[in-house]
Amino acid sequence: MDWSKEKCVMILDENLPLGLIANTAAIMGITLGKHLPEVVGEDVLDRSGNVHLGIIEFPVPVLKSSPEAIKAVREKLYQPEFQELTVVDFSDLAQGCRTYDEFIGKMEQVPEEALQYFGIAICGTKKKINQLTGSMPLLR
């Protein structure tokens, strides 16, 4: 795959406490790794011969936005023109569950419009991702 034409970003709710921001990014990153294993490079050795597990082969900008803007981007991602993108979202509902079974049960009962997104991660063509996120600032 030509990684120069691909992009991956995370958009996080800038109003969340630091711990929830870190947790949201970690959870979304693990899910992306499962769904896009080809973006993770091979393990590497340091000069001392110690093994370091492979990491993603390209940068992942972490952007900040308001909950409303994140929700608007998530809604756009359901449209047919964005179906080829890989999307991971993490919501208030997910954060509040203690088990995955609880999460499954609660998601089945809640309409999408009731979810508050803590963050979304999007991977795919640069053009499409820039169209959605081009004006969002980096989280610093």
What is the DSSP track for 18-62?
A: HHHHHHHHHHHHHHHHHH-GGGBPPPEE-TT--EE---BSS---E
Query: In this predicted model, what pLDDT tens digit does every residue of 3-38 receive, in sequence order?
Result: 778 899 999 999 999 999 999 999 999 999 999 999
Q: Which domains does the chain have, with CATH numbers?
A: 3-133 (3.40.1490.10)
* Cβ neighbour number for residue 78 with a 10 Å cutoff: 10
pTM score above 0.85: yes
Check pLDDT > 70 for residue 60.
Answer: yes
Report helix angle 67-76 to 126-133, nearest 10: 140
Q: What is the pLDDT of residue 86?
A: 96
pLDDT value for 58: 86
Instruction: Answer yes or no: is pLDDT of 2 > 90.
Output: no
Return the percentage of the chain with pLDDT > 90, whole number.
90
Yes or no: say if 39 and 86 are a contact pair by the CB < 8 Å rule.
no
> 97 phi and psi, to 5 degrees?
-95, 145
